[in-house]
Structure formats: structure tokens, C-alpha cells
Chain A
Amino acid sequence: MRGRVFDLQRCCVNDGPGLRTTVFLAGCPLRCAWCHNPEAFAGDTARWVEAEEVLDEVLADRDFFEATGGGLTVSGGEPLLQPAFVKEVLTRARAEGLHTCVQTSGAVPRDALLAIVGLADLVQFDLKHPDALTHERLTGRRNDDVLANAAFVAAHAKQVEFRVPVVPGFTDDGLEGTAAFVRGLGAHALHLLPYQRTYLDKYRRLGLGARCATVEPAAPSRLASLASRVEAAGVHAVLVC
């Protein structure tokens, strides 16, 4: 079984617990203004790779996973555009006893989530913005299916982390709404992913323009005040950096 992969990075942190190897799958239904992985749908870095090949490289770091409680993370793009491939990769990883994590934008058919929800030890679920129209302006699509899928994952995943990219001027006004939403799903925490300018470098390399080229990353004080607003909305704010 082959999948379209545009990168594989060993030794990642913040893609789930411990040290992880993260596989980046090509393709994405969204077009976020600040997208940090434009290679997912632009450029020619993606290639067809066998699931077995992915596992071979992932398993090379088994000792480091064991030392840190880490494992394999499937990311993108949107990995669940290739549900069968993800399913196979996860199945093989579980057979090897690896901890598994899937990162998703949630903008995917329910079937895709159904296929993997039992195979992932952790689902990292991105919520860009709670407001449907703003969501469309920022990502090109409304968020009805995202919100419904979030509820589904909250109910069925072994463990879920809801995450929000904090892009000043784009997403920061939706943080409280998102916090309230995940609290309604029974989640205790919201993970905040501060936007970093280093992503712009990728656009330059790919010859793309970036809609967020002028955005300045949030200052630590600003992040702290955003975090306290999330806390005020009743969930714990976890800063990921």
C-alpha cells in the first residue's frame, strides 16, 4: 500500500508525547492563510512511499521512543485524505507496539475518521476558528463538518488534544469561542500553537506568496493574556513552543 508523502522528520517534539518521527502526507482540503506546510499542496516534494518503508525508518528510532514515551505521528497536509494508507501505517505501528498520533484539520469525511479513530492513541485536532464565515475567509471552507467531527472525535478517540494556531490578526479573536466550544465537548484543555515566522521561509523556497507575510508572531505577554482568556472560558490553556 502506497501513500503520498512529502516529508518524514525524525526527532520531533510537540507532535505528541516524547520524541517522535512525524510523517507528512500530501494534500489538504483547506488553504489556511498562514499554512505552515505549504509543501502539502504546492511544489514537487511529495512522492509515493510504501507503508512498509515508512515503518522501517520510523522503527530505527525505537530506542528513543522508549526512552521518552514517544512514537509515530501522522501529519500533513491533511493525512485523512488518504485514510487507507494512514490505516495501514497505524496498524503496522501498533503491531510494533509504538505509540501513535494523528494530526488532523477535521475537514474530512466522517468515514476517514471512523477508520483511524480506534488505531490512534492520540488525535491532535486543529480548530482554526469557531465562526463559520471567518473560517471560510481564513481557510477557504466553512467549519460545519469540522465542528461535527470534533464532537465525534471527542466522544470516540482514546485521547484527543484540541489545538488552535495563534495567528495574530487571523485567529486570535476566536480563541474564547473555541475554548467554550471544546469545553462543551467535555475537553479540559486547549493547546495554543503560536505562529512562527520561520514558516515564511518555506513559501520563499516554494516561490509562493504568503497572505500572512506581514504577521508578527505574538509577543510572550500577548500569548499570556490570550492564555488567560482561554482559562477564563473554563479550559486549561497549554502553550506549545
Chain B
Amino acid sequence: MQLERAVSSPLSAGPAPSPGGLHPKNAVLKQRLLGAEHWLCIERARYATEVWRQTGGLHPSLRAAKALANVLAKMTVRLEPEELLVGNRSSKPIAPPIAIERGDFTFVFKYLLEDLEAFGYRITPEDRRELLDDLIPWWEGRTVRDAKVAALEAQGLTSPPNASPLELVRKLRAFGPRTLGRVLTPRAGAEQPLHRRLPRLLRAIRAGAKDNVKGRGRCTDTQAHIVPGHKNVLAYGFSGIRDEARERLGRATTDDERGFLEAVVVTCEAMRDFSQRFAALARAQAEGAVDNERRLELLDIAKRCERVPWLPPRSFAEAVQAVWFVQNAAIISYGAGSGITPGRVDQLLFPFYEADVARGALTRDDARRLLEELVIKLNDNVVIWPNLGGVELNHLGSDVENITLGGVGRDGRDATNELSWLFTEAIENTSLATTASFRVSAKSPAAWVRRVVELHRRTNSPAFLCDETAIATLMNDGYPLEAARDYCLVGCVEPSGNGDTFGATGGTKVYFPTALDLVFNRGRTTFFGNQDGPDTGDPRAFRSFDELFAAFSRQLEVMVAQVTEATRLRDAIWAERFHNPLISCTIDGCLESARDMTRGGAHFNFGAVGGGGLATAVDSLATIRELVFERRAVSMGELLEGLRTNFRSHDALRELLRAGPRFGRDDARVDALAADVVARFCDLVRAQPTVTGGHFKASLISYGMNVYEGALEPATPDGRLAGAPLSNSMSPSNGAETKGPTAAFNSLARIDQTRIGYGNSLNMRLPIGLLGSDAGVDAVAGLVRGYFKKGGFHVQFNAADAATLRAAQERPQDFPDLIVRVSGYSAYFTRLGRSIQDDLIARAELSP
């Protein structure tokens, strides 16, 4: 029986949850989370703006510190009756804190609030008025985004959609009116008819496309994507960090240094006062508590909040509370959509667990309850987005807070510990879309790998990461061995140092198929229609595949140069004006250098450039090589005509192209092409410096954006239609895996993955029925081990079959917790946008 053909059953068919099951109080918290409405809470925006208004001219670190202190002092604090772990981030259960100074959501609020509301977001009328009439107008021209767009425009790096009649006709031919319309309209329609919404939509699109970098590059307004130095808070508390800042202040030589260090003092004390607010709330609730058990719990909560994160924790419960305080406050400080990651939680917390258990102060069940609650809280996030342009990110858990479990320790020995197992149980019991990364090394216990595979029976979340590949990758980028061994996964699957790195692992991106589009149109992209790249000559005059490949490489080179230049301009704005002393002061290096992380204060500094649609581009190149240059079955002219008309009345051509060679079939020749493209890309990216003194690193991850990424891409020579999804991450194209998982693994393993500094992701389908037997579990564990032995970096499995997914699409009410992996992170299938659902179904269906 072939793996892919195993008979599937719905996810619910798994065995009962692990010992004990979800704690009843946590079951309530989970239900509340799943049932909660999405709100827009403007407290973060309001209280930060209050300070910004009064502090012009202040050192940027100090300004940020005072703004955060004001937010933490005035925002609503909440304490739910079931909580042991406290710390909310806004006034409502699901309400992402809005970092208004970034400006990345401003155009959404201005033009698409109705669409957000139609999509289920709520905002009170007063907040709405304050946001639109007071806060946003004050920030006009002052945000990161405004400054970034101005800088990009000044440097001639933007490429707004060209709406000249000629270009419009070209676009319409290449995409067709229906595809274009789909791209431009939010899916969940507001009540208004389209013609009434259109002016608003067009304004939104114009504002949203303002920062399109030449060559279809994307450079978001945020940096972030970082692992805060939780380890330092656990070791020293914010009191210790403050004392160190004070001591360093004595040695400060410039106003800049003093500004930063004073900001750290303000921040640390703000963190102390913030936790004291929860202590006071808990004591107040304890006074009114009728239930004696709850009263005692509340008093314990109060005691913990009186101590951490100001002082170092003395117990497991204090340590978990401290980690949550830091994680929560870091997200408040940076705002939603920042990819802030707790890191190696099993390693961070283990010493406290071990000590408590040794002195008989903690049972396994009590520890599990706390971890379950932590896991539930880590799922309370969402990206604010109205589903415009095919981006559908506004589902619960989309603003990933990835946790890393297992793997080797700094000494190189296997560090999988009791907490790795307990976290796994907590993830299983909660059965939420927890984004968790499971590190696997050759030294990992076989039972551990099996246990993680078995998680698929209840939740689809586990991602497997290969220690050997990841550690070699970090060392290639300059980490010493010990620090490399301590890597954590940031965002989706980006490997980064543990609290010692300003990594900004996401946000900047280019698409490989765009390089081909630029070649075909002599430096213009079909969608945007401007002269973005060099004229690499008339493709019909290319005499060999090598000439075509040289033109492709040249376009890619210019794309990378443009998008990294744009990113440096953006980073310079952050460095100049928008600091984050909270995250900075926890990270190794910033105190000693007395510099904010945005100014290169951390030990290690990098930037990121993602590459999208690899397999789409590689399949296209391989198909051209074979059909145009080798078999001469198609001429370049015919091909271009097919692409420019989206194959309308070119069905035979399209069929020929679709039968071309594919990446993912263990075909050494195609795979070599993929390896070549990736190696070139990684080298181009690595050669680019960041403003923080490091270099850029490449990644090949889609974060579920491959649907959106494809929406703006014309038809490609692999027979893909205009607007269809690009291939996802480093995975083969949908339908290419006709030879099964091992062939796909072999293809990917031909790429030197240790060059891809910020990782790559492989999404693989797995029939869940397979996991019903021990043999199936062993088989999956063996697939993971085999792939990692060959140099693979990451793999994750989607266990649901196409039939289950289709049923869930039709009857979402019956599948509230069907969890799928999208691209490096987990999501509730029924909460995903229709087009992502369709893509996942297509992927599941097309497998043999």
C-alpha cells in the first residue's frame, strides 16, 4: 500500500487526548477563544500617541519607552475567572494591539473599515471616531510607512500600477477581466453594491500599492520577527537589566548612548508597574471571591505578579508567568503583525520545573495545566486584514507566536526534556492551531519523534526541523557553534539565534516567476507595467537555454538589489525614529553597545529576503529548456503569445506545457536547475549589507501568501494560468508529486539548504488514516529522519485528505477545529479564505 493511497478518515478519529485531557478551566478558556469576536481595540494606539504628541525632539529610544510606559499604565487590564496566567494585550479577548506609528494598517482603517466589519471585526462608534478623526490624522506623514514611501519614491524604487490605455489592454489580455476583478475586490462583500464601494477600493489599492518595489518586490513596513531575550529576563529580571543599564550609563560617552540607557531604565520600571497592576487586580478579585479555591489561586497570582518579571522567578509558575509577561508586552510594544517568538520554551523553563519537582512543590498535572494555558494564550492573535488582493490572513493564530521544542543543547547533547513532552501534551490537549516547531537531531530519542508524529492524530500543527542542517546554516552566517545550537524558529520556520539576534526574518520578498516575466517583457512586469528591470533582449532571439537563463539571472540580480535597497531605506527610518527599548534591553549585546536593536545593538544582525514561487519558476525554466530549445516542439514566439493571452485559444500549447518536466519527481536534471536558482539567489541576497552592520539572508517560505502572490502573476510557461497560486514555499508545484513523498524529498535534498539562511519549508500531504497504525507512525518518522539525513531543513504534513477538506468547506459548522498547515504555520481550515481553502483542496486532490 503506498503512503499516498492510504485510506483516510476525518481528524476526529484520533484516540483520546493524553493523560488527564484538557484541564476543565482551560477548556473554558479555549472555548472562549474560539467563540470570541474579533475587535479593533485602540488603547495601544491612543496611549502611545498621547506621548508622541508631547515628546517631539526627545531621543527616539526614550520616546518609545515613555510611549510604552503610558500604554502599560493606562490600558485595560483583565483577569478571567479561569486564568492562572495573567497578562492581556488589549481591552477585548481577540483584539490585536495597533502600533499606529507603523502606519501599515492606516489605509485599511481609512478605506476598508466597512470591509473589516463585514468580515466580523467590531469597533465601538467612539473608538471609530477617535481612530479616524483624531489618531490617524495626527500620524499623517509621520508613520514608518509614510516615511518609507517617501524615501522609496525619492530614490525611484517604486512601481505603481501603470494605468495607461496600452498597459490596461495588455493587463486585460494577460489576466482576463474576471481574474483582475477578483484580485481587486475583498471577498467578504460589505453590504454596499460594488459600484458604491469602488471609489473606496481604488483609493485603498492605490495606497496599498504605493510601496510596490520595482520588480514586484515587497518590503513591508515592519521589521520585527524576533526572539526576545526571555533567557535574560529569567536570569536577571527587569530589575537586574535596569541595574546593568544604570551601571553602563556611568560609562556612557554620548547622548545617544545615554538616551538609550535611560530608555531602558524607564522600560524596566514600566514592566514592574505593569505586573503590579495585575497583582492589584488579583488581590481585589480575591477579596470578592466566594469560592475559596479561587481565592487562593488569585492570591498566588498576585504573589507571582508582585515578583516577576521584575525579579528573577523562583518557581516554575513564576517562570511561566514571566515568559508570558515578556512575550505579551513585546507584542504590545511592537504591535500586532510582528512575528515575535517565545523561542525554546522547554529549555527556558526546564531548570525551574526540575527544581520544583525535586523539592516536591510541583506535579506533572499542575505543570501541564499552566502550559496548556500558555499555549491557549499563544493562540490569541490575528493579523488585521480585510482580505484584499487575495491575502487572507485574518484568521485566529495568523500572527504566529512560534514555540520551539526539542533538539540539542548548547553543549551538543540531546536536550529533549520532560517539558518538551509536557508541551507536546499541552498542544495535543488544547488542539488549537498552535504553531510549534519540533527540532529533531540524529540524537533525538526515537520515541520523541514518534510522539510528535502522533500529534497529527489530534492536531495538524507539528513542524519538523533538522538540527544538523539548521546549525550548519547558522554557522555559515557567522554564529559560533554553541550559539548556533541554541537556535529558535521565528515566524514560520526562520532559524535565528536565541535572544542574541536582531534578525528581522520576514517582510521583504521577491518572486522567481517575476524574473521570467521581466525577461519576457524586456524589463516590465505584466501586472504593474513599468520599466522595472533591464532590457535583457528579445527572448525570440535567444539561441540557447543558457542565454535565457543568463537573462533570468540578470533580472533576479536587479530585483534583489532593488528590494534590499528599499529595505535599507526602511530600516534607516526605524533606526532614526522608531526604537524598541523593551525588546532591545532583553537581547544580548544592546546594553553593552548602548544601542537600540534597530541601530545594530544586538550581537548578531541580519535582514531577510524571501523568494517565492520557486517550483513555478523552475518548472517553467525546465519546460522551456525541453520544449523550446531541445525538442523544438514550441517556438518562443508561440509561447509568449500563449502567456500574453492566458492561453485563450491555445489549449494544445497549454497541455504540452503542463506535461513538461517538474521539480519534485526526483529528476536529477530539473533538480539541478532548482539547486542552481536557489544557490544564485542565496548568494545575491547574502552579498547585500543591512543598515545594522550584518547581511541579508535568503528564505523560501510563503506563509500562506502563495495564493496572493500568484494573483498578480501572469500565466507561466509551466502551463499555470494567470492569477493562479504560485508554488508554495520550496514545495513542488501542486500536482507535481506524482512519484510520492520520497521522490519529493530527494528533489529538495539536491538543493544545498544550508545556504538558505532563513530557511525553507516543505509542505507534504499525509492521509491521516496512515497514523492509525504503528507501522504508519514509524513510516512517517522514518520519512522525516531520512529527509533530514539527506540535508533537508523542514517538513510539515497536512494530514487531512481532500474529501475531508471539501466536506469542511461545505459544512464549516461541523469542522470547527480542523487544523491544517498552510506554510510554516497552522490554521483553522474553516476560517481560511475560500481561495486558500481551494488551494489546499487542490493540493490534497492532485497527489496521486
Instruction: Say whether B611 faces chain A, with CB atoms less than 8 Å apart.
Output: no
- Min Cβ gap A29→B in Å is 23
Given A19-B782, A198-B7, does the pair A10, B775 have CB atoms closer than 8 Å? no
A64 to B782, Cβ gap below 8 A? yes
Complexed CA–CA distance, A40 and B529 (Å): 56
Contact among A13, A15, A60, A241 for B743, CB-based, below 8 A: A60
Report B-chain residues with C-beta under 8 Å of the C-beta of A144: none
CA of A196 to CA of B8, assembled, Å: 12
Cβ of A12 and Cβ of B3 under 8 Å apart? yes
Q: Does B309 contact A (CB under 8 A)?
A: no
Q: A234 near B: Cβ within 8 Å?
A: no
Give 1 or 0 for each of B781-792: 1 = CB within 8 Å of chain A CB: 111011101100
CB-CB under 8 A for A63 and B789, given A11-B741, A13-B779, A68-B779: yes
Contact assessment for A60 and B3 in the assembled complex, using a CB-CB cutoff below 8 Å: no
- Are A63 and B786 touching (Cβ within 8 A)? yes
Q: A9 within 8 Å of B by Cβ?
A: yes
Residues of chain A with a CB closer than 8 A to B742's CB: 10-11, 19, 60-61, 64
Given A10-B740, A61-B742, A196-B7, A68–B786 Cβ distance below 8 Å? yes
Which B residues lie within 8 Å of A196 (CB)? 7
Kindly supply a per-residue 1/0 record for chain B positions 433-476, scoring 1 wherever the CB is within 8 Å of any chain A CB and 0 otherwise: 00000000000000000000000000000000000000000000
A14 at the A/B interface (Cβ < 8 Å)?
A: yes
Complex CA gap A68/B789 in Å reads 12
A12 proximity list for chain B (CB < 8 A): 1-3
B779 vs chain A, min Cβ distance (A): 5
Residue interface bits A56-83, CB-to-B below 8 A is 1, else 0? 0000110110111010000000000000
- Taking CB as reference atom, which chain B residue is nearest A193? B1
Which of B2, B666, B776, B789 is in CB contact (< 8 Å) with A9? B2
Give B1-24 interface residues, CB cut-off 8 Å to A.
Answer: 1-7
Interface size of B as a range: 20 to 34
Interface residue? B316 (CB, 8 A): no
Residue of B nearest to A8 (CB): B739
A191 smallest CB distance to B (angstroms): 12
Q: Provide the bound-state CA to CA distance between A60 and B787, in Å.
A: 12
> Whose C-beta in chain B lies nearest to the C-beta of A22?
B2
Q: State A9–B4 Cα separation when bound (angstroms).
A: 10
A10 to B4, CA, bound (A): 10
Closest B residue to A64 by beta carbon equals: B786
In the complex, A241→B3 CA distance in Å?
Answer: 12
A9, A19, A22: the one contacting B779 at CB < 8 Å is A19
Residues on the B chain within 8 Å of A14, using CB? 1, 773, 775
Query: A1-49: which have CB < 8 Å to B?
Result: 9-15, 18-19, 22
Q: Which residue of A lies closest to B741 (CB)?
A: A11
Cα distance, A228 to B779, chains bound together (Å): 27
Within 8 Å of chain A (Cβ to Cβ): is B746? yes
**Interface assignment of B745: CB less than 8 Å from any CB of chain A:** yes
Complex CA–CA separation, A55 to B662 (angstroms) = 22
Which residues on A sit within 8 Å (CB–CB) of B740? Answer: 9-11
Considering the complex, give the chain A residue whose CB is closest to the CB of B788: A67
Residue of B4, B773, B778, B781 near A11 (CB, 8 A) is B4
Interface string of B730-750 (1 = CB under 8 A from A): 000000000111110110000
Q: Within the assembled complex, what's the spacing in Å between the Cα atoms of A66 and B772?
A: 23
B2, B3, B772, B783: most-surrounded residue (chain A CB, <10 A): B2
Tell me if B376 counts as interface (CB < 8 A to partner A): no
Q: Which of chain B's residues 712-759 have a Cβ closer than 8 Å to chain A?
A: 739-743, 745-746
Counting CB contacts under 8 A, is B770 at the interface? yes
Is B779 in contact with A18, judged by CB distance below 8 angstroms?
A: yes
List, in ascending order, chain A residues with CB within 8 A of B775's CB: 13-14
Query: Could you say which of B745, B746, B775, B790 has the most chain A C-beta atoms within 10 Å of its C-beta?
Result: B775
Contact of B1 (CB < 8 Å), options: A10, A13, A66, A67: A13
Give the residues in chain B near A61, CB-CB below 8 Å.
742, 746, 786
Smallest beta-carbon distance B13→chain A, Å: 11
> Which of A141-191 touch B at CB < 8 Å?
none
Report B-chain residues with C-beta under 8 Å of the C-beta of A60: 666, 742-743, 746
**Which of these, A11, A66, A67, A198, contacts B3 with CB under 8 Å?**
A11
Smallest distance from the beta carbon of A67 to chain B beta carbons, Å?
4
- Could you tell me the distance between the alpha carbons of A70 and B775 in the complex, rounded to whole angstroms? 11
On whether A70 and B782 interact (CB within 8 A), knowing A11-B4, A198-B5, the answer reads yes
The smallest C-beta distance from A198 to any residue of chain B, in angstroms, reads 6
Among candidates B7, B739, B743, B778, residue contacting A68 with C-beta atoms closer than 8 Å: B778
Q: Are A68 and B782 in contact (CB under 8 A)?
A: yes
Which among A15, A61, A67, A70 has the highest number of chain B CB atoms within 10 Å?
A67
- Chain A neighbourhood of B789, CB < 8 A: 63, 66-67
- Asked whether A10 lies within 8 Å of B739 as measured between CB atoms, the reply is yes
The residue on B at minimum CB distance from A12 is: B2
Question: Among B3, B746, B782, which residue has the most Cβ atoms of chain A within 10 A?
Answer: B782
Query: In whole angstroms, how far apart are the Cα atoms of A18 and B776 in the complex?
Result: 9
| Chain B residues within an 8 Å CB radius of A13 | 1, 3, 6, 770, 773, 775-776, 779
B783 contacts A19, CB within 8 Å? yes
**How would residues 774 to 818 of chain B score, 1 for a CB under 8 Å from any chain A CB and 0 otherwise?**
011011011101110110000000000000000000000000000
Are A18 and B739 touching (Cβ within 8 A)?
no
Contacts of B781 in A (CB 8 A): 67-68
The answer on a CB contact under 8 Å between A67 and B2 is: no
Q: What's the nearest-Cβ distance from chain B to residue A14, in Å? A: 5
For A11, A22, A68, A196, which residue has the most chain B Cβ atoms within 10 angstroms? Answer: A11
Residue of B nearest to A70 (CB): B782
Q: A10-B740, A10-B742, A198-B7 are in contact. Are A18 and B778 (CB under 8 A)?
A: yes
Contact partner, A67, options B741, B743, B785, Cβ 8 Å: B785
A10 to B1, CA, bound (A): 10
**Which chain A positions have C-beta within 8 A of B787?**
63-64
Q: How far is B787's CA from A198's CA once the two chains are assembled, in angstroms?
A: 30
Q: How far is B1's CA from A101's CA once the two chains are assembled, in angstroms?
A: 14
CB-nearest residue of chain A to B776: A13
- Kindly provide the distance from the CB of B781 to the nearest chain A CB, expressed in whole angstroms: 8
Give, as a whole number of angstroms, the nearest-CB distance from A27 to chain B.
21
User: How far, in whole Å, are A61 and B786 apart by their CA atoms in the complex?
Assistant: 9
B632 to A: closest C-beta gap in Å: 27
Q: In the complex, what distance in Å separates the CA atom of A241 from the CA atom of B772?
A: 8
* Residues of A with C-beta under 8 A to B1: 12-15
Question: A80 CA to B702 CA in the complex, in Å?
Answer: 49
Bound: A13/B773 CA distance, A: 10
Q: Looking at the assembled complex, report how far the CB atom of B557 sits from the nearest CB atom of chain A, in whole angstroms.
A: 34
Which residue of chain A lies nearest to B778 when distances are taken between CB atoms in the complex?
A68
Q: Inside 8 A of A22's CB, which chain B residues have their CB?
A: 2
Q: A192 to chain B: closest CB distance in Å?
A: 13
Q: How far is the CA of A241 from the CA of B13 in the complex (A)?
A: 15
State the Cβ distance, A196 to closest chain B Cβ, in Å: 6
- Residues of the A chain whose Cβ atoms lie less than 8 Å from the Cβ of B741: 10-11
Question: In the complex the two chains form, what is the Cα distance from A5 to B786 in whole Å?
Answer: 27
Known contacts: A19-B782, A63-B789, A64-B786. The answer to whether A10 contacts B772 by CB under 8 A is no
- The contact sample of 6 A-B pairs, CB cut-off 8 A, is A10-B740, A11-B740, A18-B782, A60-B666, A63-B787, A67-B783
A sample of 19 more A-B contacts (CB under 8 A), given A10-B739, A63-B787, A67-B783, is A9-B2, A10-B740, A11-B2, A11-B3, A11-B4, A12-B2, A13-B1, A13-B776, A19-B783, A60-B742, A63-B789, A64-B742, A67-B786, A67-B789, A68-B778, A68-B779, A68-B781, A70-B782, A198-B5
Top 3 A-B residue pairs of the complex, sorted by shortest distance between their CB atoms: A68-B782, A64-B786, A67-B786
